[in-house]
């Protein structure tokens, strides 16, 4: 019984335990994860330069960091081909592909609500200072 009391106390003070989805949110909704996964899902296996070109505004350093993290999290598969010159390709994993319904729901939500968000922002920005 004391163990469950300790867990309840921990959830009250530790946001990670109080909201078990926070680690998933960190993985999926970091700044560049969505465009990377979306691009790999849409265009299939790609080399680094192709992926960078399709995303557009991401720097090589940030793309490298995000790809490494996504590979570590099991969302992306990196394939090294020992050729001359070496070739590396990235593709979305089955785990990453399983996020497609989530992204579809987000796209629907965005289509239905972005006008409301823009209106709320406008109203907030034009209101007298608080």
| Cα–Cα distance for residue pair 106/103, rounded to 1 Å | 5
pLDDT digit string (tens) for 52-91? 999 999 999 999 999 999 999 999 999 999 999 999 999 9
pLDDT digit string (tens) for 18-62? 677 777 777 777 889 989 999 999 999 999 999 999 999 999 999
Going edge to edge, which strands form the sheet with 87-92? 46-47, 87-92, 76-81
Please list the alpha-helical segments (H only) found in 14-99: 15-18, 22-28, 33-43, 48-55, 60-72, 94-97
Tell me the pTM. 0.73
Q: CB neighbours of 7 closer than 8 A, spacing ≥ 6?
A: 17
pLDDT of residue 17: 66
The closest of 58, 57, 78 to 68, measured between CA atoms, is: 78
Residue 38 in contact with residue 103, Cβ under 8 Å?
A: yes
């Amino acid at each position: 019984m004391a163990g469950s009391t300790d867990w309840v106390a921990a959830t009250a003070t530790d946001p990670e335990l109080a909201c078990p989805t926070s680690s998933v949110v960190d993985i999926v909704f970091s700044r560049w994860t969505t465009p990377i996964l979306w691009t790999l899902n849409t265009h299939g296996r790609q080399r680094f330069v192709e992926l960078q070109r399709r995303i557009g505004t991401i720097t090589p350093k940030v793309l490298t960091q995000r790809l490494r993290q996504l590979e570590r999290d099991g969302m992306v598969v990196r394939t090294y081909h020992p050729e001359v010159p070496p070739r590396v390709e990235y593709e979305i994993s089955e785990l990453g592909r399983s996020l497609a319904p989530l992204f579809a729901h987000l796209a629907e939500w965005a289509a239905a609500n972005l006008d409301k968000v823009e209106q709320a922002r406008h109203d907030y920005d034009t209101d007298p200072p608080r």
